[in-house]
Amino acid sequence: MEQNQEQEVFSMPRIGDAAPEFKAVTTQGDINFPSDYKGEWVILFSHPADFTPVCTSEFMTFATMADQFEEANCKLVGLSIDGLYSHIAWLRTIKEKIEYKGMKDVEVNFPLIEDITMDVAKKYGMIQPNEDSTKAVRAVFFIDPKGIIRTIIYYPLSLGRNFDELYRVIIALQAADEFGVATPADWRPGDDVIIGPAGSCGSAKDRMDDSEINCQDWFFCTKKLDKKTVLDKVLKKK
């Protein structure tokens, strides 16, 4: 039989969809998703399995950056197809024994969902059977305060995520919403932003004439947006 034949078809939520709803048991108590997170950004991410090295390095990194994400009004929620007691034992082991890249004594305070039944993983297309039929791939869903999926990134089992990129995405999504702009390749706060395409000949001309907008041609226009303005809007006041 060919690979792919007679495989169960799993749903794959898409950008712009409402985040599929679920109730789950986590290491921080029960959650009702996404309604418990209304009004906040949330990153829902899956990892293949507890007690595995790449996942351990990822959890230590995410936990170390949790305050940074919190400051950006973003909660973290993890998931793997393991049970609650495995999760608890793994997170305790990380705190008590694992030292990695200067991180040690790392406490994971964000919820880690138990998903032995794979119900949640299947709803979110986290099981990709040609990669592995019983382990979730490294999926990352960025969900906005209204519960809408705004960005999805998938990584295979062998590739640990880039957490600077995940943080960049959460800031860029919020900056785009707050300032009605788009963000160009490799954008970081302080870089120029993109003005969306002109919708009429009149607006194409207006933007070419606007001294605050730098148009190389009518369809490629940028403007300055300084770092402080972005961060003042996106980051919570301390």
How many whole angstroms from its chain centre is CA 120?
A: 16
Strand-pairing partners, residue 221, are 195, 215
What character string, x for contact with ligand BEZ (CB under 6 A) and - otherwise, covers 29-48? -------------------x
Q: Which of 11, 28, 53, 203 binds ligand BEZ (CB under 6 A)?
A: 53
Size of the site for ligand BEZ (CB under 6 A): 9
Residue 64, interface with ligand BEZ (CB under 6 A)?
no
192 within 8 A of 223, measured Cβ to Cβ:
yes
Residue 158, interface with ligand BEZ (CB under 6 A)?
yes
Nearest to 43 by CA among 34, 52, 30, 51: 34
Q: Which tokens in the block code for residue 55?
A: 């996942």
Residue with smaller CB distance to ligand BEZ, 123 or 135: 135
Helix (H/G/I), strand (E/B), else coil: 174: helix
Q: Is 221 a catalytic site residue?
A: no
Q: Which tokens in the block code for residue 48?
A: 């293949």
48 within 8 A of 138, measured Cβ to Cβ:
yes
Min CB(113)–ligand BEZ separation in Å: 17
Residue 54, interface with ligand BEZ (CB under 6 A)?
yes
Residues at the interface with ligand BEZ (CB under 6 A): 48-49, 52-55, 135, 157-158
Residues with catalytic roles:
55
